[in-house]
Amino acid sequence: MRWIAVGIDLAASETKNTGVAAISEHFEIDHAIVHTDSEIISYVEAKSPILVVIDAPLSLPKQRKSLDERSEHHLRQCDRELLRMGIKFFPITLGPMRQLTKRGMALAKVLREKGYNVFEGYPGGAQDILGIPRKSKGLHFLVQGLRRHHLNVGEWSADELDAVTCAYVGLLYTKNQARLIGDPSEGEMLLPMR
């Protein structure tokens, strides 16, 4: 089977659950819960997808050198575009998001060095665009919404369902039904087309 995309719903810490999912062009889905970076990398390597979509910030605002410095620069161009679309998100400089951003950037670097096309995704934003209720509305509604898009998901964990969403957006991208928003020189985010 040819896996088109792997989605990763990355946790900020290796002690927490990270959901991973792979999708084929025929909508077959594989999914799992992993924890460590090495487990994530092994999963991606086993699936050998065309692209990888990670639910974590993978870049900093252009004017910012690091997450540790104090700065008034909190938003990237892709974040501003989310605001214009009315999509809610947590800024990357918000307390808990800092650790997730650091882990996401490091993981993306490793995967890119291994030759994978890696994109930043945002399942909550994708679900808003696709008319799918987010997990905060109830997992049952998220499952129903994903099934409306021909995704044969079960009553899986929120992490796995968000990973499936990321993988699905990756599949849409290969069909010219998703686009990158933001500034390419700063970092872009992959979202379905409205």
Domain ranges in the chain?
Answer: 3-192
43 vs 5, 36, 58, 157, CA distance in Å? Answer: 12, 11, 19, 18
- Distance of alpha carbon 156 from the chain centroid: 17
Query: CATH number of the domain at 3-192, out of 3.30.450.40, 3.40.50.1000, 1.10.275.10, 3.30.420.10?
Result: 3.30.420.10
Q: What's the pLDDT tens digit per position in 1-31? A: 899 999 999 999 999 999 999 999 999 999 9
Q: Is 95 exposed, middle or buried (0-12, 13-18, 19+ CB in 10 A)?
A: exposed
**Predicted pLDDT at 97:** 84
Contact assessment for residue 119 and residue 84, using Cβ atoms and an 8 Å cutoff:
no
What pTM does this model have?
A: 0.94
- Distance of alpha carbon 100 from the chain centroid: 12
Helices (H), 35-157: 37-47, 77-85, 95-113, 123-130, 139-148
Q: What's the pLDDT tens digit per position in 81-123? A: 999 999 988 777 777 788 999 999 999 999 999 999 999 999 9
What mean pLDDT, rounded, does the chain reach?
93
Give the span between the Cα atoms of 13 and 156, in whole angstroms: 21
Contact assessment for residue 75 and residue 148, using Cβ atoms and an 8 Å cutoff:
no
Give the span between the Cα atoms of 190 and 169, in whole angstroms: 7
